[in-house]
A and B are shown apart, each in its own frame.
Chain A
Amino acid sequence: MEFALYLDNIYDFKEKTKFYFQEIHKNINKNRYLFLLNKIDNLKFSRLYFGSEFCERLIPTTKELEKVINFCKKNKINLTFMTPIITDDPYIENFKKIFKVINDSNLEKKEVIFNDWGVFRLLKKFSNLDLVLGRFLTKQKKDPSFIEDLFNKNFLNLDNETQDIIKKSTIDTTELLKKFLKKNDILRAEFDNVYQGINIDSDIKKTLYYPFVPVCLTRLCKAHSYVTKKPYIRGKNECMKECKYTSYTYSINNVHMFLKGNVQFYCNNHLPKNIHEFDRIVFEPFEFKLI
């Protein structure tokens, strides 16, 4: 099993990388998630997931990226760069520069995850990059609000077909799509550790994110308003990247939820029974500084 560490910013980069890469053997027993992962296989992070999946405003600068690339080179760590949905200006041009930096770096295995087919189209021009289908494009059902009742026959009484559907994704629906992905050299897809389990019938390499599951995303981010206590007005709002240091928690039908910037997550501690079908686990450290 390949283990990857998820970092969406370079704050405390030195401390975090020391904790998870250089001194992981000391820290496994300090964290119950790491402890659980270590039971699956000998836990050693050999890949870094870096970038922004959820917001174009958080895309790292080329300088930040170069710092990360240097770290990866020095420590023989593989790099996977994460990308969000983007708008034209200035992000298309920014990404061209960023992808060139990764493409031209002499890292051995470099991947880019796309969650936007427009970003995929940009990426096709860079021949040294491995393309990965992001977790927002694999279209799993992630609604956490009725988790408790999902398999309770006395309540929802979902028929078997429906129970099967909520475990599925769309990437194994037709041979046409499987061929399309192969033809475009998309050989890996990303999945969330959804509560109901995962059932994917495809040869594509599969990654599992653990333990946080992003459920929905907005462009009407209220992080700035929440921090400054100013009224939130719908539209394009100020952003001081407050989401990097704030998050909020609440519950829905007894499921614990987290709001971080423009994304809502839930946490699933349990790994799926068919974990052996995945060849990579991305560990998302608990970086929510709750307010």
Chain B
Amino acid sequence: MNILVAIKEIKEIEPLSNIGATEFYCGVKRSNTSSLVFNINRRCRDDLIFKCNFVSYDELKEALEIVHSLDKKIFLTLNENYTKEQFKQVLKELDQISKINLDGLIVTDLNLILELKKNYSNIPIHVSMLSAIFNSEAVKFYKELGASRIIFPRLIFADELKSIRKNCKNIELETFIDFFIGCPNVEGFCSSIHHLNPLIPTLCSKEYLYRINSEYEIPPEIESTCRICNIYDYLNIGIDSLKLTGREYPFEFVYISSYMIKKFLDIAKKCESKKTFVKLVYNNMDKVIKNGIKELNSISSFKIEKENIFKFKQILKSSILCRSGNIDLCYFKNEVI
């Protein structure tokens, strides 16, 4: 099972590769305008202090050379839904993309998928989680349109993936395993304007507006974005790739998370039951995080921000239930496939 990690700078490739990342994904955003015409990549918030994409195809090409020299793969996101005006820009990008030896293009728009099938059959199509694929029939639909990999939404459960794997053999399946995104919406069916500009108050990720506005008593919510215990399930189901998002997060976050996933994946391979795996996760979590931070500090090519490590620890505490003493309330620990 591959570990797929987000990158936004070339210098991130080697350290992530050294700790077990076998696949990478990224975006390219050449313009810093907030105009939607150029918003052809779902993460478009790059500005002077915030970077989550490569800034040119030259940078992507350089990344490709490094990744391929390490015998690993790199995928590019072109994962918005496009109007006619935006699609003109997309076609220009496709011209550039077709000239480089890309391992896969992450897409959701049916216009783009049909365009790739017709005119760019050499580019492998990875159908984004934004296509909201929850069943075998949908996987078959996209496979018939030329998709080589399906990326499932965050809100799919292990038993649902198991059924899909059983019914769809010859296609790669990718699923999320990350801690950062608390958004409760099915991304493919959310019509908010995604992170257009941090200053504009859009509906994005704000399901709790009701809670904020409510005059009534609302029961507490115990939410975890951690799916570490699912690694065992995903391994047994036959998932091809585990995706760790984080283009918009500091490198420290991505590094320690990747380290954790790799370590727990290695442990899962040796476990005979989920129960044993869950126990080992619980007992080893602190040690793995500590070792991850130690490894991170040993990278000489990076200036490590202590503040980011502190923030990361805080996020882990709030998103991993077993760290906050709520282990019995973790659904994913008990999920049976």
Question: Contact residues of A with B, CB < 8 Å?
Answer: 85-89, 91-92, 115-122, 136, 139-146, 156, 159, 161-162, 164-166, 168-170, 172-174, 176-177, 180, 201, 215-220, 222, 225-226, 228-236, 248, 250-253, 257, 259, 264, 291
Question: Contact residues of B with A, CB < 8 Å?
Answer: 35-37, 81-87, 109-111, 114-115, 118, 131-142, 155-157, 159-160, 163-164, 167, 184-186, 189-193, 200-204, 206-207, 209-210, 212-214, 216-225, 329, 331-332, 335
Using A92-B135, A162-B35 as known contacts, list a sample of 18 further A-B pairs with CB atoms less than 8 Å apart, ordered by residue number in A.
A87-B135, A88-B160, A89-B163, A117-B142, A118-B139, A121-B141, A146-B202, A159-B35, A161-B36, A162-B36, A173-B84, A177-B110, A215-B190, A216-B186, A222-B221, A234-B331, A236-B157, A252-B201
The answer to whether A88 and B140 touch across the interface, beta carbons within 8 angstroms, is no
Alpha-carbon separation in the docked complex, A165 to B35 (Å)? 10
Closest 7 CB pairs of A and B: A235-B331, A118-B138, A118-B137, A250-B213, A142-B191, A168-B83, A216-B190
The answer to whether A85 and B219 touch across the interface, beta carbons within 8 angstroms, is no
Cβ–Cβ < 8 Å partners of B160 in chain A: 87-89
A-B contact pairs, 6 of them (CB 8 A): A116-B132, A121-B141, A145-B192, A218-B207, A220-B184, A264-B207
Alpha-carbon separation in the docked complex, A62 to B85 (Å)? 44
Residue in contact with A232 in the complex, picked from B131, B138, B222, CB distance below 8 Å: B222
Could you tell me the distance in whole angstroms from the C-beta of A112 to the nearest C-beta in chain B?
14
The answer to whether B135 and A176 touch across the interface, beta carbons within 8 angstroms, is no
The answer to whether A143 and B203 touch across the interface, beta carbons within 8 angstroms, is yes
Could you tell me the distance in whole angstroms from the C-beta of B328 to the nearest C-beta in chain A?
10
Q: Given the known A-B contacts A87-B134, A117-B138, A159-B35, are A176 and B114 also in contact in the complex, defined by CB atoms under 8 Å? A: yes
Alpha-carbon separation in the docked complex, A169 to B132 (Å)? 18
Residue in contact with B186 in the complex, picked from A85, A146, A259, CB distance below 8 Å: A85
Cβ–Cβ < 8 Å partners of B135 in chain A: 85-88, 91-92, 116, 118
The answer to whether A259 and B210 touch across the interface, beta carbons within 8 angstroms, is yes
Cβ–Cβ < 8 Å partners of B218 in chain A: 226
Residue of B136, B191, B224 ringed by the most chain A CB atoms within 10 A: B191
The answer to whether A219 and B222 touch across the interface, beta carbons within 8 angstroms, is no
The answer to whether A177 and B114 touch across the interface, beta carbons within 8 angstroms, is yes
Residue in contact with A143 in the complex, picked from B118, B191, B216, CB distance below 8 Å: B191
- Main DSSP-derived SS at the A contact region: loop
Cβ–Cβ < 8 Å partners of B185 in chain A: 216-218
Alpha-carbon separation in the docked complex, A172 to B193 (Å)? 20
Could you tell me the distance in whole angstroms from the C-beta of B226 to the nearest C-beta in chain A?
10
Residue of A144, A217, A225, A228 ringed by the most chain B CB atoms within 10 A: A217
The answer to whether A219 and B141 touch across the interface, beta carbons within 8 angstroms, is no
The answer to whether A231 and B203 touch across the interface, beta carbons within 8 angstroms, is no
The answer to whether B192 and A233 touch across the interface, beta carbons within 8 angstroms, is no
Q: Which residue of B lies closest to A138 (CB)?
A: B81
The answer to whether B221 and A231 touch across the interface, beta carbons within 8 angstroms, is yes
The answer to whether B203 and A216 touch across the interface, beta carbons within 8 angstroms, is yes
Could you tell me the distance in whole angstroms from the C-beta of B155 to the nearest C-beta in chain A?
4
Q: Given the known A-B contacts A136-B189, A216-B191, A218-B186, are A231 and B37 also in contact in the complex, defined by CB atoms under 8 Å? A: no
Cβ–Cβ < 8 Å partners of B184 in chain A: 218, 220
The answer to whether A174 and B335 touch across the interface, beta carbons within 8 angstroms, is no
The answer to whether B81 and A170 touch across the interface, beta carbons within 8 angstroms, is yes
Could you tell me the distance in whole angstroms from the C-beta of A53 to the nearest C-beta in chain B?
10
Cβ–Cβ < 8 Å partners of B209 in chain A: 250, 252, 257
The answer to whether A248 and B210 touch across the interface, beta carbons within 8 angstroms, is yes
Residue in contact with B85 in the complex, picked from A89, A115, A164, A264, CB distance below 8 Å: A164
Q: Given the known A-B contacts A87-B160, A117-B138, A170-B83, are A176 and B331 also in contact in the complex, defined by CB atoms under 8 Å? A: no
The answer to whether A180 and B136 touch across the interface, beta carbons within 8 angstroms, is no
Could you tell me the distance in whole angstroms from the C-beta of B167 to the nearest C-beta in chain A?
7
